[in-house]
Amino acid sequence: MKKRVLLAMSGGIDSSVAGMLLTEQGYEVHGVTYRTYDSVTDSCISKETGCCTVDSMMEAKRLSEKLGYEHEILDLRDSFKEKIITNFVDEYLSGRTPNPCVVCNSDIKWGELMERADALDCQYIATGHYARVLEKDGRYYLAKGIDTTKDQTYFLYGLSQNDLKRTLFPLGGFKKDEIRKMAAERGFIKLSEKRESQEICFIPDNNYHRFLHDEVPERLNEIGKGNFVMTNGEVVGQHDGYPFYTIGQRKGLRIAMGYPVYVTEIDAKNNVVVLGKKEELLQKSFVVGNLQRMKYETLPKQGLNVNVKIRYRNTGSEGRIVPMGDNVKVELTHHASAITPGQSAVFYEGDDVVGGGIILSVDRE
């Protein structure tokens, strides 16, 4: 009996080749593309490279027809608005820098799609992510994809044991150039040359300032302008409102100090943005909450030596995580720059994902 799999399709090359591989491996595939937002608005025309656009949904549907399996479009706009966009805005209004892709993966791509998979009697769901699922002693965990330049486990640490048990990542054992070659060899030349989107899907122009203005103009007017202060407390100018700034930011500050300055801290309560020299961005200790444990059900009380990634393109820093109630304390071996509350910290042993969570606070030195 063939195993049924619900394949999440964006219309891009990765999920499309995942569909090709699954059909060739004998799975009974059912494709699904989710509509999460209105891609064309008065203030933002979606770009060709954006995912979840009407064009990309139609491309996914056409590919499914060519490969001979069913495809449907799920309208998740209300759920996406409630769970992702609202959280994104609230985080900026709280002075933190959110990571919407992490929340979307656990709450939308797996949360909503797992329900649909059950309704369609699909034993598995699959995506075009570059990652692998491993199992040891009945516990499932992620491992980095073979192509470490494309590895996407940083965004997937929030998946539960049930999610991982039922997930297939057909591309995890391949490199990106191999995927492009596969598409071309199967006659999908245009697909093999397709560019990738690097932006947040619901902000295809990559202008989150504009997005916040569109979503909560009254709240931003209430916040208004505030002070730029140096770490010594000296007021050196005015900013446009703390939600428009992120830790580590240098460009767009419009502050002339005779040397480069960076955002080192955001005080949302007082509408203050703290500036400092580059070396003042360096920290070693921080607290992580909203934990998802993956490789181990519990962490040893004495702590665990891990490699810590504090952003997607970060190569990682050696350090130690120690349980602290519901949170963990992270102590890095060497300083890292721009550790940002609201962003995710993901912990690795080699290629294996130990777990991850949200950076809650940073210990200032």
Mean pLDDT of the chain: 92
Q: Which of the two residues, 183 and 198, has the higher pLDDT score?
A: 183
First to last CA, the chain: 61
Which pLDDT belongs to residue 41?
Answer: 41
Residue 122, pLDDT > 90, answer yes
Whether the CA torsion 290, 296, 302, 304 is positive or negative: it is negative
Segment 148-164 mean pLDDT = 95
What angle, 0 to 180 degrees and rounded to 10, lies between the N-to-C axes of helices 54-67 and 13-24? 20
Q: 281-362 — its CATH code? A: 2.40.30.10
Residue 99, pLDDT > 80, answer yes
Residue 8, pLDDT > 80, answer yes
Segment 166-171 mean pLDDT = 98
Which pLDDT belongs to residue 313?
Answer: 86
> 170-184 as b/e, with b when 16 or more CB fall inside 10 Å?
bbbebbbeebbebbe
Structure token pair of residue 132 = 């692998």
Q: Could you confirm whether 104 is annotated as catalytic?
A: yes
Express each pLDDT in 315-364 by its tens digit.
Answer: 899 999 999 999 999 999 999 999 999 999 999 999 999 999 999 999 98
Residue 355 to residue 249: CA distance in whole angstroms? 28
Express each pLDDT in 220-248 by its tens digit.
Answer: 999 999 999 999 999 999 999 999 999 99
Structure token pair of residue 69 = 């399996």
Catalytic residue among 44, 51, 104, 122: 104
Q: Could you confirm whether 201 is annotated as catalytic?
A: yes
CA–centroid distance for 118 within its chain: 25
Predicted confidence band of residue 1 (pLDDT cuts 50, 70, 90):
low
260 burial level (CB within 10 Å; 0-12, 13-18, 19+) = exposed
Catalytic residue among 44, 52, 122, 201: 201
Which pLDDT belongs to residue 52?
Answer: 60
Structure token pair of residue 177 = 């150039």
DSSP assigned state of 109: I
Architecture in CATH of 4-192: 3-Layer(aba) Sandwich (3.40)
Fold that domain 224-276 belongs to in CATH = SH3 type barrels. (2.30.30)
Q: Which of 36-45, 106-115, 204-213 is least confident?
A: 36-45
Q: Which of the two residues, 166 and 37, has the higher pLDDT score?
A: 166
Segment 145-153 mean pLDDT = 94
Segment 204-215 mean pLDDT = 91
| SS3 per-residue string spanning 224-256 | CCEEEEECCCCEEEEECCHHHCCCCCCCCCCCC
Contact 248, 294 (CB under 8 A): no
Among 332, 246, 342, which Cα is nearest to 290's?
342
Which pLDDT belongs to residue 50?
Answer: 47
Predicted confidence band of residue 139 (pLDDT cuts 50, 70, 90):
very high
DSSP E strands, the chain: 4-8, 28-35, 70-75, 124-126, 131-136, 139-144, 167-168, 226-230, 235-239, 262-267, 272-276, 282-293, 304-309, 317-324, 327-337, 344-349, 352-362
> 71-102 as b/e, with b when 16 or more CB fall inside 10 Å?
bebbebeebbeebbbebbbebbbebbbbbbbb
> Half-sphere exposure (CA, 13 Å, Cβ side) for 110?
22
Q: Which of the two residues, 41 and 287, has the higher pLDDT score?
A: 287
Express each pLDDT in 21-34 by its tens digit.
Answer: 999 999 999 999 98
Predicted confidence band of residue 202 (pLDDT cuts 50, 70, 90):
confident
Which pLDDT belongs to residue 45?
Answer: 33
Which pLDDT belongs to residue 40?
Answer: 45
Residue 255 to residue 262: CA distance in whole angstroms? 10
Which pLDDT belongs to residue 196?
Answer: 74
Residue 91, pLDDT > 60, answer yes
Residue 18, pLDDT > 90, answer yes
Contact 30, 122 (CB under 8 A): yes
Give the angle 176-181-186 at the CA atoms, nearest 5°: 130
CA–centroid distance for 77 within its chain: 18
Q: Which of 49-63, 104-118, 181-195 is least confident?
A: 49-63
Q: Where are the domains of the chain?
A: 4-192, 224-276, 281-362
Please state, for a pLDDT cut of 90, what percent of the chain lies above it. Answer: 84
**H-helix or E-strand spanning residue 178:** helix 176-185
